[in-house]
Chains A and B, each alone.
With several copies, the nearest count.
Chain A
């Protein structure tokens, strides 16, 4: 029996010890009428070899297109050592470190992770992960409401340059809790928050202001001004950041005069493959003063009976298994294995390595923009400083272009025409350090072809 070790003899011995006539008898407390008759939709068992063949066929069907899509999930080089270690059974097949003494490996690693993320974001404390960047933002909004006792409005200000999915997820998650979101427009031509619309809120009761840096368009916001404005207006500040960008850019802990209050984001750029969308992990760091409002697991260093250093889950009184309906969040299982990958990844790359990856990604994106905007009719939507994404405007329908690119085995970017209709045929592109100059040329040639073709056809 696949994965079941019982021999016939053992089954008999065990039933005898139980005093049950058959395995079926073990289910005699279940009303007979309820017992399953058949499971028609489940196919017959496959051997490992057969399922391997099936999965390989499925994978090959999708192939390995050349990717220029970012929008919250980025293709980076991952050292071979990372997943070789992550998939070691001792990490892979352990669970939440409830028995600290038997889980020092996981616990120490998480403590190291907390240390790294705190330093990277310029904050004092970090939790041990949330599900993903989007849900981390939702949790941050809820946390801000808890942390900011003086604000009664539960009103969160977000720029429309925030990743739209992050806003959708936040809306869905806080839906039952009377939070409201005020969405502020961006400056056209610049693609950054229209500051005047923020200033128009002066004097209102705002619980928190969310800033994404770099924003969804890849542009850099004036985070210092926004942070200071928010604090001056008694709102907390929640930063949404790409952790890789922090190798180059000022950490949220240093934005404005006193830094932000909560930092969240998706840790995927650190050692986590694109993997069709997940598992990734959400991170969250904050100031010490808010630590008791933070959701998620937190690991602390302590000592054992002999005074020796050790690590353990701490501040559990915030969590659902203790506080139940009054917990900071319902989160229980988080994304430990991905954090394991990220911690190893950060250790292998170091600050210098991450800086170089970030700089190279930025350079490759600049080159890509340069090449693509040479195509007649293709232009940059926004000026200003950017990281490794950019919005292009095309002379033709983006959907058509992306389909044609896919046929050439290129994933060309994200179609923004539904999300931001005012931008017209807008395409969000990204190149990381994994895209060579030759890759950029491949894209440029294909796009030239396609755009010219469509333009001519439309004539």
Chain B
């Protein structure tokens, strides 16, 4: 991590400079006047070295898994095995055109087919489509399938999606995108769903419910079987937000809990890289009822032959969600990851992520921090709240988060879920060693001491990063979204 800022690439640009070895020389196009671009785009004009140096230096301004403990709750920042990258980037896979004939795609299709089968097994589902390009698109696919299911049964009134208040923002946003109305239900003080509220919300308009289990509160919904029965009895279907699948992988399966559909964040549980914000993959799995509606394409097998299944094979499909078949490269990485873990490794994911989370929670509780759900087991993540510190010392969760950066730890997720005030959602993941967890606890203890002695110090953090605390309000008010937008350079 470097603490030295780097100018914008445009500052390195000089008219006429270029990395000429990177493009063919000599061709000029005869473009009719009406189509012709008049002025070249303001792209940087730099040498190859300048580009390499600029972006290498930029990279050093990031925290990342490869350089820092990164316990960002709900994001499963575990080690991204380098082998996944290496094998997904074999030149044949990279060079393959997505619409190339099946006859020159059997190797690739075999990987995808087996990935579908493995995902079915770990989720307890009957069918899988790999096409959604992130968790949120997987959610979309899931709710769209629920809608399609009711529609196919001519059950047209079912337009309400029940969402607990702890849900990730993508859940209600997805329901809206699918044309549904969101009915929010509260969580109980112990983190479980308020079953009475659920009962109250269920009815003839209920299309389904979206749940994360363990929820984003970091606890497992113990009465999940009862919830499933209630929803099913009311004619609704259950959607499982699999962003937290890491917590239960190899321990319990959403299909067995009674869920009808699940999306998985392959970039979380199956450890494909997060790439500074993506790409992800939001593969969906479905039970029997939703099989006819899976988004296309999926991969089928005829004898020894793999082939794409499309609208001809899945006539009731909710359709296509991407121009081709989703984030193929991410899928290959997930496939490699699953093959390297194998059956036993699959079981260990939840075990060791839970061990790390519960250990961290135990140590933090012992150090005097306030767990949001002190009576509960942590799943793979848990929440502490800085409400007391905010009130008594004027040092809030964000201050703790920023100060952690100075200590060399990425901050946990802050202020999510929204219902827990001043919260930090902490997810260590199974790939971190005990001493990292201990170091993190020590840092929080040290910051607590700082907060008690010199609150201003903590509130002024960070100090050792390339920038100090940034003015978000100004960013939103005095919009500066492109180079040259504001004269104040």
Contacts of B476 in A (CB 8 A): 300, 314-317
Contacts of A337 in B (CB 8 A): 273, 275-279
Contacts of B219 in A (CB 8 A): 29
B94, B354, B363, B413 interface centre (most CB from chain A within 10 Å): B94
Given A14-B355, A62-B104, A88-B319 contact (CB < 8 Å): no
Contacts of B40 in A (CB 8 A): 247, 351-352, 355
Contacts of B49 in A (CB 8 A): 3, 5
The segment from B115-123, B389-397, B443-451 that touches chain A is B115-123
Contacts of A41 in B (CB 8 A): 117-118, 120-121
Q: Which residue of B lies closest to A134 (CB)?
A: B323
B24 near A85 (CB under 8 angstroms)? no
Q: What mask results when residues 90 to 115 of chain A are scored 1 for a CB within 8 Å of chain B, else 0?
A: 11111111111111111011011011
A173 near B321 (CB under 8 angstroms)? yes
Given A14-B434, A309-B5, A98-B72 contact (CB < 8 Å): yes
Given A250-B38, A347-B46, A94-B342 contact (CB < 8 Å): no
- Which of A305, A350, A362 lies in contact with B18, CB distance below 8 A? A350
B238 to chain A, nearest CB (A): 14
A308 near B66 (CB under 8 angstroms)? no
B87 near A39 (CB under 8 angstroms)? no
B169 near A332 (CB under 8 angstroms)? yes
A6 near B434 (CB under 8 angstroms)? yes
A165 at the interface (CB under 8 A from B): yes
* CB under 8 Å from chain A, chain B span 335-378: 336, 338-348, 350-352, 354-356, 358-359, 361-363, 366, 376-377
A319 to B136, CA, bound (A): 12
Q: What mask results when residues 67 to 91 of chain B are scored 1 for a CB within 8 Å of chain A, else 0?
A: 1101010010111111101111111
A21 to chain B, nearest CB (A): 12
* CB under 8 Å from chain B, chain A span 63-81: 63-65, 67, 69, 71-73, 75, 77, 79-81
- Which of B5, B169, B318, B432 lies in contact with A327, CB distance below 8 A? B169
Q: How many residues of B contact A (CB 8 A)?
A: 216
B20 to chain A, nearest CB (A): 6
A330 near B95 (CB under 8 angstroms)? no
Q: Which residue of A lies closest to B326 (CB)?
A: A278
- Which of A6, A59, A79, A163 lies in contact with B22, CB distance below 8 A? A79
The segment from A118-126, A185-193, A371-379 that touches chain B is A118-126
A325 to B182, CA, bound (A): 7
B345 near A169 (CB under 8 angstroms)? no
A55, A249, A297, A353 interface centre (most CB from chain B within 10 Å): A55
A306 near B468 (CB under 8 angstroms)? yes
B54 to chain A, nearest CB (A): 7
Q: Which residue of B lies closest to A356 (CB)?
A: B23
A3 to B99, CA, bound (A): 36
Contacts of A277 in B (CB 8 A): 98, 322-326, 328
A369 to B340, CA, bound (A): 31
B14 near A314 (CB under 8 angstroms)? no
Q: Which residue of A lies closest to B361 (CB)?
A: A18
A353 to B130, CA, bound (A): 36
B187 at the interface (CB under 8 A from A): no
A54 to B401, CA, bound (A): 43
Contacts of A42 in B (CB 8 A): 118, 121-122, 338, 342-343, 346
A101 near B468 (CB under 8 angstroms)? yes
Given A304-B467, A325-B173, A333-B38 contact (CB < 8 Å): no
Contacts of B90 in A (CB 8 A): 55-56, 59
Contacts of A406 in B (CB 8 A): 100-101, 103-104
* CB under 8 Å from chain A, chain B span 430-485: 430-434, 460, 462, 465-472, 474-476, 478-485
Contacts of B188 in A (CB 8 A): none
- Which of B17, B51, B98, B248 lies in contact with A7, CB distance below 8 A? B17
B136 near A332 (CB under 8 angstroms)? yes
A417 to B133, CA, bound (A): 29
A31 near B342 (CB under 8 angstroms)? no
A330 to B168, CA, bound (A): 10
Which size class do A's interface residues fall under?
35 or more
Q: What mask results when residues 246 to 268 of chain A are scored 1 for a CB within 8 Å of chain B, else 0?
A: 11111100100000000000100
Contacts of A94 in B (CB 8 A): 62-65, 70, 274-276
Q: Which residue of A lies closest to B465 (CB)?
A: A101
A19 to B21, CA, bound (A): 31
A385 near B169 (CB under 8 angstroms)? no
A306 to B469, CA, bound (A): 9
* CB under 8 Å from chain B, chain A span 366-422: 385, 402-403, 406-407, 409, 411, 414
A9 near B16 (CB under 8 angstroms)? yes
A157 to B135, CA, bound (A): 30
A176 near B144 (CB under 8 angstroms)? yes
A103 near B47 (CB under 8 angstroms)? no
B378 to chain A, nearest CB (A): 8
A231 to chain B, nearest CB (A): 18
Contacts of B224 in A (CB 8 A): 31, 34
A43 near B431 (CB under 8 angstroms)? no
A129 to B48, CA, bound (A): 25
- Which of B276, B352, B358, B486 lies in contact with A103, CB distance below 8 A? B276
A333 near B278 (CB under 8 angstroms)? yes
B305 at the interface (CB under 8 A from A): no
The segment from B106-114, B193-201, B229-237, B284-292 that touches chain A is B106-114
A100 to B63, CA, bound (A): 10
Contacts of A135 in B (CB 8 A): 133, 137, 321-323
A175 at the interface (CB under 8 A from B): yes
A51 at the interface (CB under 8 A from B): yes
Given A45-B341, A246-B41, A330-B177, A115-B51 contact (CB < 8 Å): no
Contacts of A351 in B (CB 8 A): 40-43, 45
A4 near B27 (CB under 8 angstroms)? no
Q: Which residue of A lies closest to B473 (CB)?
A: A302
- Which of B29, B61, B107, B351 lies in contact with A105, CB distance below 8 A? B61
B322 near A169 (CB under 8 angstroms)? yes
A392 to B59, CA, bound (A): 46
B136 near A69 (CB under 8 angstroms)? no
Contacts of A120 in B (CB 8 A): 41, 43
Q: Which residue of B lies closest to A322 (CB)?
A: B169
A319 near B354 (CB under 8 angstroms)? no
B149 at the interface (CB under 8 A from A): no
The segment from A338-346, A438-446, A451-459 that touches chain B is A338-346
A47 near B23 (CB under 8 angstroms)? yes
A133 to B100, CA, bound (A): 19
- Which of A5, A77, A276 lies in contact with B17, CB distance below 8 A? A5
Given A43-B343, A91-B62, A324-B169, A132-B323 contact (CB < 8 Å): yes
B25, B67, B376, B482 interface centre (most CB from chain A within 10 Å): B482
B19, B34, B376 interface centre (most CB from chain A within 10 Å): B19
A148 at the interface (CB under 8 A from B): no
Contacts of B6 in A (CB 8 A): 108
A200 at the interface (CB under 8 A from B): no
- Which of B82, B321, B352, B469 lies in contact with A305, CB distance below 8 A? B469
Q: Which residue of A lies closest to B91 (CB)?
A: A64
A278 near B325 (CB under 8 angstroms)? yes
A135 to B138, CA, bound (A): 13
A58 near B55 (CB under 8 angstroms)? no
B326 near A333 (CB under 8 angstroms)? no
A298 to B481, CA, bound (A): 8
Given A101-B465, A165-B320, A248-B36, A7-B133 contact (CB < 8 Å): no
B316 at the interface (CB under 8 A from A): no
List, sorted by A's number, 17 A–B pairs whose CB atoms are closer than 8 Å: A30-B222, A42-B346, A62-B92, A79-B48, A87-B85, A91-B62, A106-B276, A129-B277, A168-B320, A278-B98, A300-B479, A305-B469, A312-B470, A316-B476, A326-B176, A331-B136, A362-B27
Minimum-distance CB pairs A-B, first 4: A45-B342, A89-B66, A176-B179, A337-B275
Given contacts A13-B434, A112-B44, A301-B481, 5 further A-B contacts (CB under 8 A): A248-B37, A275-B329, A278-B327, A279-B328, A353-B19
